[in-house]
C-alpha cells in the first residue's frame, strides 16, 4: 500500500467477511432453538453501522440491538422491515410515539415506562411490542426484583404492554469462574418463569458475547453478542477463536536519526540514545490512539514485505506518536513508509491492554480522520 493510497491520514480497513464469519461462529455455539442477534450500538462499535448491519442481515441476522432512539431510527432505514430493532437504554418520556412510529422495540426498565408505553402506543387494549429489562446483579438499567414482584400483581398491565422479550445483562461474563455468573443466572430464571406464568410466549435474552461462552444454560431464546462480532476476544486470557476485523495503517511522517542523547515528546518522558532511529507516525489521541498507552504502546513497522514489531517512545500527541525503529536495518528503513497500528499482529485487545483499558474502548474511539475501506 502506497502513501498516496493512504491519503496521508491513514486507512482503516473493516473486514465485513470476518464479521460474517464471527456471526456464523457464534450462531454455531448456541443451544438448539436459540437465535443470535447482533448488537450494533455506537455505530457498530465505531466500525460503521451502515455497512456492518446490512452485512449481518445478509448473514441471516434478524434481531438487532442499538443503544438510543436516534440509532434505532438510523438503523430502521438501513434494514428490511422483517428485522426487529431493540433500543437498549429504555425510553425517555414523550418519545414513545416516535419509537413506535419507527417500528422499534424499546427495552423498558420500569413500571412507569410500561404504563406510558400503553398510554401512547398501540390500541386501547394492546400497546406496540416492547421488551422488559430486569436487573439480576449488574445494578445498571433494569427493574429490580421488588418492583418486578409488584408488577406481577398487575398482570393486566403486563399483558396490555405487550412484553415480547425479557432480558438481563451479565456483569462478569468475561470471568467464567466468577460466582456472580451462576447467581445472576438463577435470578434470571426466576424472573423468566414468573413472567411466563402470566405471559407464556414471552421470550428471554441473557447473554452478551462472553455470556455465550458460559454454556447452553445461559443462552435462552436470543443471544446478544456485540464485541465478538468485531473480533474482540470473549475469553480474555485464552486464544481468541474469532477473526480480527480491523486493520489500521498510517503513514510515517518523518524518520529521524538521533545524534545525541535526548528526551522525546511532551513532558520529556521518553528518551532516545545517540545512534538510535525514530519514526514519527500519523495517529494521535484525537484519532483514538489513547494517550494512556504512552510509553507502553506497540505497533508493526512495515518495510516492504517485512513486518517488525516496535515500541512507542514518549507520550502520544494529538495527531502523532513516535516509535523506536532502531531495530530496523538501513535497507528496511529505506522501505519503511507505513505502520500498522492495528491488525492481526497487534490486535484491538493488545492495544486495549497497553492502554490500560479494553478493546471495546479502542474500537469506539477510532477517529474520523482516517480513510475507511470495507472488504
Ligand X SMILES: *Cc1c(COP(=O)(O)O)cnc(C)c1O
Residue 138 annotated as binding site: no
Beta carbon of residue 353, minimum distance to ligand X (angstroms, whole number): 17
Which residue lies nearer to ligand X by CB, 39 or 166? 39
Annotate 269-297 with DSSP letters as a single string: -EEE-TT-EEEEEE--GGGT--GGGTTT-
Nearer to ligand X, 72 or 251 (CB): 72
98 is in an annotated binding site: no
Cα 47 from Cα 15, distance rounded (Å) = 10
* Stretch 226-265 residues interacting with ligand X (CB under 6 A): 226-228
CB of 46 to ligand X, least distance (A): 12
C-alpha of 240 from chain center: 16
Q: How far apart are CA 119 and CA 127, in angstroms?
A: 8
> Which range binds ligand X by CB under 6 A, 114-122, 224-232, 252-260, 308-316?
224-232
Stretch that binds ligand X, among 9-17, 218-226, 269-277, 332-340 (CB under 6 A): 218-226
Annotation marks residue 266 as catalytic? yes
Binders of ligand X among residues 37 to 76 (CB under 6 A) are 39, 41
Q: Which is nearer to ligand X, 169 or 282 (CB)?
A: 169
Active-site residue identified among 45, 57, 266, 374? 266
Least Å from the CB of residue 107 to ligand X:
8
Q: Judged by CB under 6 A, which of 75, 88, 185, 363 binds ligand X? A: 88
To ligand X, the closest distance from the beta carbon of 79 in angstroms equals 18
- Of positions 209, 233, 247, 317, contacts ligand X by CB under 6 A: 209
CB of 65 to ligand X, least distance (A): 6
- Please tell me the chain's helix, strand, coil percentages from 3-state DSSP, rounded to the nearest 5: 35, 25, 40
Measuring CA to CA, which residue among 113, 96, 102, 94 is closest to residue 78?
102
Q: In the range 111-150, which residues lie near ligand X by CB under 6 A? A: none
What distance in Å separates the CA atoms of residue 13 and residue 366, rounded to the nearest whole number?
Answer: 12
Complex with ligand X: residue 37 or 278, whichever CB lies closer: 37
| Residue corresponding to grid cell 456492518 | 52
Contact of 223 with 211, CB cutoff 8 Å: yes
Supply angle C-alpha 225, 227, 228, rounded to 5.
70
Which lies closer to ligand X via its Cβ, residue 16 or residue 228?
A: 228
Among 29, 120, 160, 169, binds ligand X (CB under 6 A): 169
Could you give the CA distance from residue 11 to residue 340 in angstroms, rounded to a whole number? 10
Residue 209 Cβ vs ligand X, minimum distance, rounded to whole Å: 3
**Does 276 contact ligand X by CB under 6 A?**
no
CA angle 184, 41, 162 (to 5 degrees): 65
* Contact (CB, 8 A) for 290 and 364: no
Q: How many residues bind ligand X (CB under 6 A)?
A: 11
Catalytic-labelled residue, pool 23, 41, 218, 370 = 41
C-alpha 228/C-alpha 235 separation (Å) is 10
* Pick 118 or 246: Cβ nearer ligand X: 246
Region near ligand X per CB under 6 A, out of 149-157, 225-233, 251-259, 274-282 = 225-233
- Interface residue with ligand X among 72, 225, 297, 352 (CB under 6 A) is 225
The runs of H, that is alpha helices, within 104-233 are 111-120, 145-152, 155-161, 180-198, 209-212
Query: Could you please report the per-residue DSSP string of 41-100?
Result: HHHHHTT-HHHHHHHHHHTT--EEEESSHHHHHHHHTTS-TT-EEEETT---TT-HHHHH
* Catalytically annotated residues: 41, 266
Residue set of the binding site for substrate = 140, 318
The site for ligand X (CB under 6 A) is made up of 39, 41, 88, 169, 208-209, 224-228
Residue set of the binding site = 140, 318
Amino acid at each position: 500500500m502506497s502513501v498516496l493510497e493512504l491519503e496521508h491520514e491513514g486507512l482503516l480497513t473493516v473486514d465485513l467477511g470476518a464479521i460474517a464469519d464471527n456471526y456464523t461462529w457464534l450462531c454455531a455455539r448456541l443451544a438448539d432453538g436459540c437465535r443470535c442477534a447482533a448488537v450494533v450500538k455506537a455505530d457498530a462499535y465505531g466500525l460503521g453501522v451502515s455497512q456492518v448491519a446490512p452485512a449481518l442481515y445478509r448473514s441471516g441476522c434478524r434481531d438487532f440491538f442499538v443503544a438510543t432512539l436516534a440509532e434505532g431510527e438510523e438503523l430502521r432505514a438501513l434494514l428490511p422491515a422483517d428485522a426487529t430493532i431493540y433500543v437498549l437504554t429504555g425510553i425517555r418520556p414523550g418519545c414513545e410515539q416516535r419509537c413506535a412510529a419507527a417500528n422499534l422495540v424499546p427495552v423498558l426498565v420500569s413500571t412507569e415506562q410500561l404504563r406510558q408505553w400503553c398510554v401512547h402506543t398501540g390500541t386501547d387494549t394492546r400497546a406496540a411490542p416492547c421488551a422488559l429489562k430486569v436487573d439480576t446483579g449488574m445494578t445498571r438499567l433494569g427493574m429490580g426484583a421488588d418492583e418486578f414482584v409488584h408488577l406481577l400483581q398487575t398482570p393486566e398491565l403486563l399483558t396490555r404492554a405487550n412484553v415480547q422479550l425479557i432480558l438481563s445483562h451479565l456483569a462478569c461474563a468475561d470471568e467464567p469462574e466468577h460466582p456472580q455468573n451462576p447467581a445472576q443466572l438463577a435470578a434470571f430464571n426466576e424472573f423468566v418463569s414468573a413472567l411466563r406464568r402470566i405471559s407464556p410466549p414471552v421470550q428471554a435474552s441473557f447473554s452478551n458475547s462472553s455470556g455465550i461462552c458460559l454454556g447452553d444454560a445461559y443462552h435462552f431464546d436470543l443471544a446478544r453478542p456485540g464485541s465478538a462480532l468485531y473480533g474482540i476476544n470473549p475469553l480474555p486470557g485464552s486464544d481468541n477463536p474469532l477473526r480480527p476485523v480491523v486493520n489500521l495503517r498510517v503513514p510515517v511522517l518523518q524518520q529521524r536519526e538521533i545524534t545525541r542523547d535526548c528526551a522525546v515528546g511532551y513532558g520529556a518522558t521518553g528518551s532516545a540514545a545517540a545512534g538510535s532511529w525514530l519514526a514519527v507516525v500519523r495517529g494521535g489521541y484525537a484519532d483514538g490512539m489513547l494517550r494512556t498507552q504512552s510509553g507502553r504502546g506497540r505497533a508493526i513497522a512495515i518495510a516492504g514485505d517485512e513486518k517488525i514489531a516496535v515500541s512507542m517512545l514518549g507520550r502520544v500527541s494529538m495527531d502523532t506518536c513516535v516509535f523506536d525503529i532502531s531495530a530496523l536495518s538501513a535497507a528496511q528503513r529505506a522501505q519503511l513508509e507505513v505502520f500498522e497500528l492495528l491488525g492481526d499482529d497487534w490486535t484491538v485487545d493488545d492495544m486495549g491492554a497497553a492502554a490500560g483499558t479494553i478493546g471495546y474502548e479502542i474500537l469506539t474511539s477510532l477517529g474520523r480522520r482516517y480513510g475507511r475501506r470495507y472488504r
